[in-house]
Structure formats: structure tokens, C-alpha cells
Structure 1
């Protein structure tokens, strides 16, 4: 370790050294330490390069190695290493879907999955730590999935600032919106205990499905409790999130455009605008469903099948 510190001191200026030392301090990944030790010359050369200073130095989580010259795969090892190296997520996702709670996100994501073959996991069923979400997306983006999108629906997630910093600021964005009175009616006094997802997260197709049925069963409210902090973290999120992205790349999707009578036309338009498979008129029965809870079963099954492949 002393030799490593001496090498860093002799080959990096104070700013560059702090960037690398901060990453080492924040990581608990032995594979990351080993990688740095084996590749310290390459890392120092990169941190001293004009390309790094031009494109990454001002990022709060700058890449510690040139992302364009590193071979990766869909393994957990590579995903965790990429997180510690501050590598941007692979950028071949179709778009990022930003959807505050209450704008029809469950229905829209189901339409994408079942009608357009776009895999976009609901963020509210994703891991509750941004590193885990990054690793999940990283592994899928390095697999054979041809049409993938990323959903963001809440803010209060550990390491979320780093997750946002590792997304492409010029990503194409579908931002779901709804008139403010309707969104307040939907979320005001809502029972947010379901968001904790208090069911076993590790499961397979042999698991007792009644556990999930119980989770999805509605609990009658005895009183209305308004949690403004929760609303700020899951409903009023656009002002915070959109500052991370290029405003010219944002498409605003009004919730009224995905109600059943409008959904097919809207999806057909979005498919052409964002280059994914358009819906088929012969298979559009799913557009007539209004059931929110069915999306959970769809994505639980999708994730399990992907886990089997990866």
C-alpha cells in the first residue's frame, strides 16, 4: 500500500490523486483494489490525459479509466468493478423513462414490455440501493437484450447522486406528466407502506405465490396521513431530475395519451421517435386493461427469466 501511495504521489497532481484516493476509500470491493494495483500505470496515464481533463474532470464521479478501451461482459464482477471505476452505464439503452408516481407509469411500462418488446424494469420494484440498480442495468445492457430502457420514479435511494452522474446527460428522455390537481388527488394521503416491499426479494418459480398476492392486497385506510417528504421524493421529482439531462432531448408524455383509447396511437408514435418496435394491431388486447397490480407479476417473471440467462 505504501508503494501505491508513493507511486500516486509521483505521478499525479493533488487533484488527480484525490480523485483516485477517494474512490479507493469509498470502495469495499477487493477486486477493485486488485484492479487498481495491477493497472496503476494505465490509470495514471488516463488521469493525466487531455481527454480526461476535457470530458471527465468536472464530473463529481469521473471515470478512472477510459471507458472506450475496456472490455466488459454481463457478469456481476464487471458490473461492480465498473461502479467503483465510475464508468458510465453503457449508452445503448433506448431511453430513460422518468415517471413520478401517479402518472400511469405501471400501465406505460407494461405496454412497452408486452406490446413493444422494450424491457424497462419499474424502479419501484428494483433494488433499493443505486449501486445495485446500476449493476442490474449494467449486466442487462451487456447481455443480448436488444431493446432496453431505464425507469426512474423516486429520489430517496442511497448513492443516487452517483447513479445519476453515471448516466449520459444527453440521453433521450420520456418524461411522464399529469395535471397537478389529478396527481395530488392520486397521491395525497396515500398509504406508502407498500413501497417498502416487505416480501422476500430472492425468489424463483417454486416460491409460494400467495406471499405476493398478500402484498398486493389493498389495506383499508383508517386515517389520512400526508407525508410531504415522501411526496417530494416520489411525486414532485421533475425539477430535481431534469437538471441532469439535456432539455432538448426530453419528450413530455401526458398521461391522457396512454389511456386505452389513445395508447396504441401513442405507442406507435413513440416507437418511431425512439427507435423501438411499434405495437402490433393484432396483439393489442393488453391496451384495454386498467389493472395496476398485474405489472408486478409481469416483471417478477421477466426478471427471473433474465436472471436464469445471465
Structure 2
């Protein structure tokens, strides 16, 4: 936080970066250890997974089963304790029973139950789990309008174009992820089967059967979203996100209708020009 406040004046026109660091200092202090723990946990999990696999091959079936049950209970308890600590950070519960003991017991019971129900050496598919979790996060971000995001980012980084860029960027990423994923899910199976029949491996199948089907829609969706962002930038500017929208609302408040009408005309010209460019590029590449 002190670094952000000290960097506001030296950065000059880019002082919004220092203001952003200053306003989000508490969040950064929380996220940094969490990210470090996530990376470290991933590395440790990978190493211990290999060690556990080699160890299970050496032990008897009963001993390996017992070790798996113990580790599953410990993993479930640790996961739920982490969730409890996160809830404590948001709501400041403070009671150790509700943020440590109860989550640990529930997590251990859940992990133990899952380990009992899972057959020995059975493959546990996590693809759909990752898919649904990612989709849930993207839908949650997409459900918040870009204007609301702009208001939130104005609080973090101050009035200026940086807040508008962050709001539009986050909302655009969430929207395009949904469109891109749905396009991949709806590709035709015929080209894939034809490429696989030639003896192609998985990478070659993706390059020659999947990518040619998704590139044209990807270009179309990207250009369409670009057109939306040009129009949306004016509204976000009115909320304090900078740009011509911010100047427009200033001139309206100052009763300078000549300047406001000129800016409205400029907005109409830019939107029409961008729509023309978007349509030309879609006709050319899609």
C-alpha cells in the first residue's frame, strides 16, 4: 500500500497504476500468499502423487487401502479448512469451531466417504468437474454488467480510462469464453472421424479437424464483441471510466451543449465506421 501511494506522483499520467496498488493493497496481501500456496501445493501434490503411486505398488492391498483412506480424509479436511479460512476473511467469523474444527470434521468425513466409494485403481475423472467450476465462475463474472464493473474499478483505480479498460476487458473475457467453449462443443464429428481414420494422433486431429471448424466463428465472435465494446465504452465513460463518455457527461452538466452535440456526432461516426469495418472483416475472413 505504501508503495502504491508513493508511486502516484512519480508515475505522472500513469498514476492510476499506483492508485490501484494503493486501493487494492489488502487484496494483494491476501492473494499473494494464496497464489504461492496454490503453486507450492500443486508442485508438492505432483511429487507426492508419484511417490504415493510407487509406494502403493510396493504395499499390500490392505495397507495401500488404509493409506488411501487416511490421506483422503486428511485432504478433505485441509480443503474444507481452507474454505473456512476464506469465509472467515470475508465475514470475520472469528470462532475457531466454525472456521477450523467443523470444516475439518466435515471435510475429513467427505474425503473418507469418497475414498470408500471409489474402487481401487479406478480412474477418477476431473474433466467435467473442472469444466463446470470454470463455467460457473465465468457465468458469475458475466452476470455482472460492465457498467457495474466500471463503478467498482473506479473505486479501486480512480476516475479514468484504466477503470473502463479493466471493466470492459473482464466482461469481454467472460463473454468470449462462453461463446468459444460453446462453439467447440458444437463442432461436427465427421471431420474428426475422417482425420482419425487416417491414423492421425490427437494433436494432428485437433490441428486439421477441430481448428478449421472453430476459427471462422471465433473471428466472427471477436469482431462482434469489438463492435459491442465500442458502443459500451461511451456508457462506461459516463460512469467515470474515462474516454469520450466522461467528457460528454461533463459538458452536459456544464450546459455546454455545443461541445456535447459535437461529441455525440463523433460517437455516432465512430460507431458507424467500426460497424462497417467489422462487417467487411467478417465477410472477408468468415
TM above 0.5: no
Look at both structures and tell me which one has the larger radius of gyration over its CA atoms.
2
Q: TM-score, normalised by structure 1?
A: 0.19
Q: Between Structure 1 and Structure 2, which shows a larger proportion of strand residues?
A: 1
Q: Between Structure 1 and Structure 2, which shows a larger proportion of helix residues?
A: 2
**Greater relative contact order (Cα < 8 A, sep 6+):** 1
